[in-house]
Amino acid sequence: MIQTFSWDHVIFLLRGATWTLSLSIISFLVGGAVALLLAPLRVLGPSPVRASISGYVQIVQATPLLIVVFLAFYGLSFLNIHLPPLFAAGISLSIYSSAFLIEIWRGCIQAIGRPQWEAGDALALSLVQQLRYIILPQAFRIAIPPTVGFMVQVVKNTSVVALIGFVELTRAGQLLNNITFQPFAVFLTVAAIYFCVCFPLSLTSKYLSWRINVAHR
Amino acid sequence: MAYEMQFQPVLNYAPDLIDGTVTTLVLASQSIALGVILGGLGAIGRTEGPSWLSIAISTYVEVFRNTPLLVQLFLVFFALPMIGLQVPVMVAAVLAMALNLGAYATEIIRAGIVAIPKAQIEAGLSLGLSRFQIIRHIIFIPALMIIYPALTSQLTLTLLGTSIASAISAAELSSAASVIESKTFRSLETYITIALIYISLTFMFRFLYWIIGKILFHRKVVTSKNVVEDPLLTGAGA
């Protein structure tokens, strides 16, 4: 039976949106944790470590997210690793986020000038102390705006897992489109919900980077 | 029980893989061409145009950068027929991808235009350069050089983004993967093969951008992006 797009359907979409948000938070936290470990190693580690982290980043960034999701969901089940959709989605999105966050944070660490390291050396700080007290606090400050900006991508990327049937916001929209045949109403609402989540993040990122630029002027 | 990888059944479908790759390339290059033109026009309209136009363009940019490509694709594909515009799958896919890239490209190219100081143009004028020479040597090439890393990484994302078009059944590489997977039941091998093809396509495109940069700039080319400078310029993923 064809239904008309109504308030109840908006509620259904909002319920999908909570999954979008949960997935975004999971993949940002897990991806962020991995990147937090790997980004300093990417800059300071011994050269084989640096090369392999760089290789990991290059390969993930050259693969479509959709294929990473498919590999985690369909591919691994053949290795007798059966992941429920939530795990497959979470893992693949985390891998994807980690690759981009490593690059972003590497840039932030490298943006801190050599003299800062040398000053730490002159004060007889150990490498770990230099990182802990001099480099990372400064890198952290400039890392905030691009990281907030990247959260927008994380939220938008979760839409891809709709294609393995994970019912988040986009998949909820697809399902509603199938029973209401009102694609305009359905997908405009879906787009509006994404926009309400992403736009404030974009604005925050823009404001934060503006503030840092002003401080440096 | 250990799993044995068998790529032969997948490789038997080589013609499908090649067809898919070609479709992906067509989809990507059309979207890139259209999207960059759109971005150029958007950037000029936003910096030089009247304020109503500039507001309209920034609304377009914000709307398309803050919603997922997949939803944009669904809107173009399912919603256009509702207002009487019946478009083939490929046209819908190119349209959605170009609109998406156009939004990002507008911001990137605008940043390049804004980055050229007025004094440089005046310097060009005082050296007696013609209008065309100024546009070419002082505005276009230097601006392009500034934005090249951001622009090329956005183009790479567009190339990878074409995989999403399988959702509206465009017959590109990812949908070829689904077909092969459902025929051979070799999911892991299929998706590994597909991933390898995408990775080689990406590196091929990056090499191409590097060559183009080499020809345009006659000096060191940077094609990896420096995200720190402006985080919002490029959008990662879908």
Give domain status of residue A1, yes or no: no
Q: What is the pLDDT of residues B21-65, one digit of tens each?
A: 999 999 999 999 999 999 999 998 998 889 999 999 999 999 999
Q: How far is A192 from chain B (nearest CA, A)?
A: 8
pLDDT band at B11 (very low <50, low <70, confident <90, very high): confident
Give domain status of residue B235, yes or no: no
What is the total count of domains within chain B? 1
The C-alpha atoms of residue B123 and residue B139 are separated, in whole angstroms, by 12
Contact B74 A71 (CB under 8 A): no
Give domain status of residue B1, yes or no: no
Give, rounded to a whole angstrom, the gap between the first and last alpha carbons of chain B. Answer: 37
| Residue B231, pLDDT score | 40
Q: What is the pLDDT of residues A135-163, one digit of tens each?
A: 999 999 899 999 999 999 999 999 999 98
| Residue B221, pLDDT score | 57
Give domain status of residue A72, yes or no: yes
Q: Is B182 on the interface with A (CB under 8 A)?
A: no
Q: Is B184 on the interface with A (CB under 8 A)?
A: no
Beta-carbon contacts below 8 Å between A and B: 175
Give domain status of residue A2, yes or no: no
Residue B225 has pLDDT above 50, yes or no: no
DSSP H/E element including A65: helix A65-70
- Joined together, the tokens standing for residue B21 give 């790759």
A84 or B53, greater pLDDT: B53
Angle, vertex CA B149, rays to CA B148 and CA B151, nearest 5: 65
The C-alpha atoms of residue B60 and residue B38 are separated, in whole angstroms, by 11
Which CATH number fits the domain that encloses residue B80? Answer: 1.10.3720.10
Q: What is the pLDDT of residues B90-136, one digit of tens each?
A: 999 999 999 999 999 999 999 998 888 889 889 999 999 988 888 88
Which CATH number fits the domain that encloses residue A177? Answer: 1.10.3720.10
B81 or A29, greater pLDDT: A29
What is the total count of domains within chain A? 1
| Residue B49, pLDDT score | 86
Domain carrying residue B100? 19-217
Give domain status of residue B212, yes or no: yes
Mutate to test the interface with B, among A73, A82, A159, A194 (most CBs of B within 10 A): A159
Give domain status of residue B100, yes or no: yes
Under a CB-based contact definition with an 8 Å cutoff, are residues B159 and A64 in contact?
no
- Joined together, the tokens standing for residue A24 give 């975004």
Average pLDDT over residues B158-185: 88
Give domain status of residue B11, yes or no: no
Residue A82 has pLDDT above 80, yes or no: no
pLDDT band at A213 (very low <50, low <70, confident <90, very high): confident
- Residues 186-205 of chain B with CB under 8 A from chain A are 186-188, 191-192, 194-195, 198-199, 202-203
Residue B220 has pLDDT above 90, yes or no: no
Give the residue from A198, A158, A168 showing the smallest Cα distance to A65.
A158
How high is the ipTM of this complex?
Answer: 0.90
Give domain status of residue A185, yes or no: yes
Domain carrying residue A46? 7-216
Q: How far is A146 from chain B (nearest CA, A)?
A: 4
Q: What is the pLDDT of residues A93-135, one digit of tens each?
A: 999 999 999 999 999 999 988 899 999 999 999 988 998 899 9
- State the DSSP code for A181: -
- Joined together, the tokens standing for residue A191 give 């787009």
Q: Among positive and negative, which fits the CA dihedral B2, B8, B11, B13?
A: negative
A172 or A213, greater pLDDT: A172
Give domain status of residue B13, yes or no: no
Under a CB-based contact definition with an 8 Å cutoff, are residues A159 and B238 in contact?
yes
